[in-house]
Amino acid sequence: MTRQLLIVVTALMAFGAMADDSAILEKDFALMMAWFPGIYDNQEQVYFEDELDVADTQRHVRVHTVLQPVNVPRLGAHVFYLQQYVNDDPAQINRQRLYVLNPDHERHVVSMQIYTFDASERRMDTQGDHSELAQLTMEQVQTRPECDVLWRRKANQFVGHTQREACTDRPAEGAGRAAINRYFLLTEDALWISEQAPDETDNAVTGHPADVPFKHRKARPFECWMTATQRDGDSTFQRGLTVHDQGGMVWIKTDEEDAQQVGIKLRNVRWPYGRNRPSLVLYAHKPDQDKAVSYAWADPGAQRIGINLRWMQASCTLTPQSMGLNQ
């Protein structure tokens, strides 16, 4: 009887441990779903690589990333549309994906399937209207199970990766077939991404040569108004301008012949060196001048910031994520 009782108690303890693990994974998954969507940009990484005079071969291109939940019932309940463009140019879209995330209770991870579009299904910009995505069929997208990303919570962050050497750029064996290793790190306000395809000697064929990830920070959207003085002394006023605090920029033109331009740029600066404190910075710009003509700063968590140079004024206020954003 004692032996049977021990077996029952042990089984109950194992079942309880499994139930606890399942509950923890569900809670972690809910937190990840809250953190995952957003607008991300590596403006700060690009800026400080220039400031630190990093070698050209080691620098990162600027990448603007949007991750938005979308309704694609055929793929699952937790689907996100990813769109990236480079060089701060929305016309230079270089990646469009669908990410499907689900808790995997057998492996105690969050699994992420990556779907790519057929060339004919790629859109120049689907950020504004996702209705077409709901009509996608399984024939219009592709995924490779061996390229799934497995996420685990590590302290107050989530770390994801593909199985090393399992994911390749071609589905069949053959010459030129290269393994692709993907790594992700997610926090409440950042998303780091690294993608490496090493050759036979483990040198990077694609990706950063030193395996330094793209360090994207999550952007906060602001709504702004601006004024600019015309040549006749009157002022042009515009409101409802949208910008984000990871290097977002917007320009206005004065209401006159031979219109003048005035721009503002917003950054939430985090110095990677020295003793400078993090700051929310609003810059005033004129065309054909790389450096700002002036700037103002505030606490990095500030919800409003403004600048008054007499010939121009601007004020920006934090807006809810649900509001539209010109990116």
User: What are the extents of the domains in the chain?
Assistant: 33-218, 221-318
Among residues 245, 189, 227, 213, the alpha carbon closest in space to that of 312 is found at 227
Q: What is the pLDDT of residues 119-174, one digit of tens each?
A: 755 554 555 667 788 888 888 899 999 999 999 999 999 999 998 778 886 555 55
Q: Are strands 149-154 and 157-161 parallel, antiparallel or unpaired?
A: antiparallel
> pTM score, two decimals?
0.85
How confident is the model at residue 203, as a pLDDT? 56
Measured CA to CA in angstroms, residue 124 lies from 92, 98, 114 at distances of 9, 15, 19
Q: Which residues contact 161 (CB under 8 A, 6 or more apart)?
A: 149, 150, 181, 182, 183, 184
Name the stretches of the chain with pLDDT < 70.
1-19, 120-129, 169-177, 198-207, 321-327
Alpha carbon distance 243, 222 (integer Å): 5
Q: Are 41 and 221 in contact (CB under 8 A)?
A: no
**What counts of helices (H) and strands (E) characterise the chain?**
2, 20
Q: Are 226 and 313 in contact (CB under 8 A)?
A: yes
The CATH code of the domain at 33-218 is: 2.40.128.590
Q: What is the pLDDT of residues 159-215, one digit of tens each?
A: 999 987 788 865 555 555 578 899 999 999 999 999 887 655 555 556 687 889 999
How confident is the model at residue 125, as a pLDDT? 56
Single-letter amino acid, residue 223: E
Alpha carbon distance 151, 137 (integer Å): 27
Q: Are strands 294-298 and 214-218 parallel, antiparallel or unpaired?
A: unpaired
Alpha carbon distance 224, 209 (integer Å): 40
136 by Cβ neighbours in 10 Å (0-12 / 13-18 / 19+) ranks as buried
Buried b (16+ CB within 10 A) or exposed e, 224-251: bbbbbbeeeeeebebeebbbbbbbbebe
How confident is the model at residue 204, as a pLDDT? 52
